[in-house]
Structures are given as C-alpha cells and as structure tokens.
Amino acid sequence: MTMVTTTTLNEITTYLFDLDGVLTPTAEVHMRAWAKMFSEVFDEFNVAPYTDQDYFDHLDGKPRYAGVADLLAARGIALPYGDPTDTADMPTVCGLGNRKNDVFTEVLETEGVQPYPGSIALVDALIAEGKQVAVVSSSRNATAVLAAARIADRFEIVVDGLLAADRGIPGKPAPDTYLYAAQLLGASAANAAVIEDAPSGVAAGRAGNFGIVIGVDRGAGRDVLLQDGADVVVDDLVELLDGEPTGQSPASKEGS
C-alpha cells in the first residue's frame, strides 16, 4: 500500500460513501431496532441474550437478511429462509428481517436523523472541488434516510440494498456494489475511494482494489478496520480536511 497523505487523496476523483455510520448516525437507530427484535427472539428460544457486540460481529454493514441468518446461526437457531414478501410475524429469516425494518422505519419517522457535520463538510468540500460522490449502502432504507437527513440532493448516484437485490448484485463484503457505483460514475476502482465504518464494508473496498479505503471508527475499532484492509482510520471525516490523515496502518506509513 502507498502512504496515505493529503496529496494522495487529491489524486482520487471519486468518493464512494457508506451511509449508516459514515454520513448519518443511523447505525444507532439500526442498533436499537436490532436489539429490540433479537432480544425478543432470543428470549423465545432461550439462548444467550443479545449484546451490542452481536451487532458489530454479525449485522453491521451486511444486507439485512444475510445479517439475520448469520446471527441466528451463531446462536444455533435454525429457521427457514422464507421469502422477502414474508410478513413481520412469520418465523423465517426474511420475516425477522422485515420485522426489524418495521421497527427501524417507526423510529426514523418519529425521531428523524441528523447527518454527521464533519462528514457533510467533507462531502461539500469534495463537490466544490469537482470530485464525484455517491452513496453505497446495504440498507434498503437508504433513500428514506437521505431524505430524512436532508442530504439527498448531494448524491446523484445511490446504490442501495433495493437496487442490489433488484439487479442481483452481491452485497458487502463482496466489492460488487462499490464497483457498480464506480462504473455508473465512469470511474475506475484505482481512482476511487471507499469510505466505510463497517469491517465488512472495509473488506469490500480492499477486495475491489480501490485506490484508498478509508475507515471511520464509530465503534468497530481502529485495529479491526485496519486489519480488514483500511489504509487509514479516522474518528471523524473532518480530519481529512484538516491536513494529513491520522491513524494509518503500519504498512501505509512504511510505504510498502
């Protein structure tokens, strides 16, 4: 990996942003929704209680049904996969995923969501410099979240869970959704940056051989994000406007 510096960032023409946890703190809403749903499910099956670590280990950044299946398997709970049209009361992977989505939608509508100021400062600076920006999210609620946060007008391209499912594009940690967004913008992976807070998203950026993978530590842990392939990890994206990014991996600093 090459050393990550402000000069290196200036050579990137296209910036592909994850949504939840990168642009907006909707991860907190997702976490509350997941916790409510899985606490009830785990009580019913009499297995170990749900913890916040379950979110980071099995749910964060993954397509909804894939996350449900992963966490159920980790607790030894076997349920049929079902169908995306399953109602929220059905005992299937899809039914549970849809139940969680109902809870999330309710919280989003009642509480709204405010974008991270530092993230929007970076987005606006990039747009002012003529850089291309897009949102790449596993969430099927991405459009609603962008609208609730009042930042939808900044992103002409949004590759979300609905689009990926409709077109059969594999989700994170596969790099395909990020590669598709870059393609829509006419950019190569080498000239694009992936900006992620989830280990699975960081892994997707590394697997796609993107020019730079920037991790944002919102709770997953700096070391975890570096381990999964981030070139640099920041606590807030405003750091990228303040000078040379901090939190680089040893390999990045050595220029290897």
Select from 111, 138, 171 the last residue of a domain.
Answer: 111
Select from 77, 111, 145 the last residue of a domain.
Answer: 111
CATH number at residue 89: 1.10.150
Instruction: Provide the pLDDT for residue 73.
Output: 97
190-213 per-position pLDDT tens digit = 999 999 999 999 999 999 999 999
**256 pLDDT higher than 50:** no
* 132 within some domain: yes
Q: Rounded to two decimals, what is the model's pTM?
A: 0.75
Q: What is the mean pLDDT of residues 30-42?
A: 91
Same domain, 200 and 88: no
40-96 per-position pLDDT tens digit = 999 999 999 999 999 989 998 788 899 999 999 999 999 999 999 999 999 999 999
CATH number at residue 152: 3.40.50.1000
Same domain, 94 and 124: no
Residue 251 near residue 229 (C-beta atoms within 8 A): no
Instruction: Provide the pLDDT for residue 254.
Output: 35
Give the range of the structural domain holding residue 65, as residue numbers without chain letter.
28-111
Mean pLDDT of the chain: 90
Catalytic residues: 18, 20
Query: 127: Cβ–Cβ under 8 A, 6 or more apart, which residues?
Result: 133, 154
Same domain, 47 and 124: no
* 1 within some domain: no
Backbone angles phi, psi at 241, to 5 degrees: -95, -15
Select from 111, 137, 170 the last residue of a domain.
Answer: 111
